[in-house]
Amino acid sequence: MSGKISQMWMDKVNVIYRAPQVYNAATNIFSVSGGPVLISLFGLHATAAAGGATTLASTFNGVAGEAGAVDIGTGTIVGEVVTIPMNVAAAIPGSIGAIPLTTALLYPIGMLMGLGAAGIPGVVILTFAVSTWTGGIFAMYRKLTPSAQMNVL
């Protein structure tokens, strides 16, 4: 019985959220500790108009989450969303109202992330450049070991 309960707990999809703030540089967003996680969705939502053209690039434990930085600031309005494809061959589709996550966008099944070098927590870094962007950041993930954890930095 306890094995079944443990498996059900491990199958649970977790959501982590970083409260809105102003971004204009490379920022450590989330860390992974205690074991590996499978991140199935990673995104941002605008809570204020951007300060102008603002590019975004991401890394997951040093692995690029897209093919290159994309402007997510020009014309951004409150409520728009941005998703990170978590694939070095894919492009961030920009800031829009809705994003169908299809294979045409080269979205993978997720990003497997664990501890970094020398056992330190793995880190998700978003780099905002040129101007400012304001909003919240979220991820959906599954723990792959009981002690795995994603934390807001």
Confirm whether 37 is domain-assigned.
Answer: yes
pLDDT tens for each residue of 40-83: 999 999 999 999 999 999 999 999 999 999 999 988 889 999 99
Confirm whether 133 is domain-assigned.
Answer: yes
Confidence (pTM): 0.91
| Amino acid 5: pLDDT | 61
Confirm whether 3 is domain-assigned.
Answer: no
User: What's the domain count of the chain?
Assistant: 1
| Amino acid 71: pLDDT | 93
Confirm whether 76 is domain-assigned.
Answer: yes
Q: Are 30 and 17 in contact (CB under 8 A)?
A: no
Q: Which of 111, 151, 133, 141 is nearest to 26 (CA)?
A: 133
Q: Which structure tokens are listed for 95? A: 């800031």
Confirm whether 5 is domain-assigned.
Answer: no
Residue whose structure tokens are 């989330």: 30
Q: Are 37 and 25 in contact (CB under 8 A)?
A: no
| Amino acid 83: pLDDT | 93
Q: Which structure tokens are listed for 121? A: 């927590």
The overall average pLDDT reported for the chain is: 91
CA 36/CA 27 separation, integer angstroms: 21
| Amino acid 10: pLDDT | 67
CATH number, residue 87:
2.60.120
| Amino acid 4: pLDDT | 63
Confirm whether 7 is domain-assigned.
Answer: no
Confirm whether 1 is domain-assigned.
Answer: no
| Amino acid 57: pLDDT | 97
Q: Which residues constitute the domain of residue 36?
A: 13-152
| Amino acid 75: pLDDT | 85
Residues of the chain predicted below pLDDT 50: none
Confirm whether 104 is domain-assigned.
Answer: yes
C-alpha dist (Å) from residue 58 to 11, 83, 111, 115, 129: 27, 11, 12, 17, 12
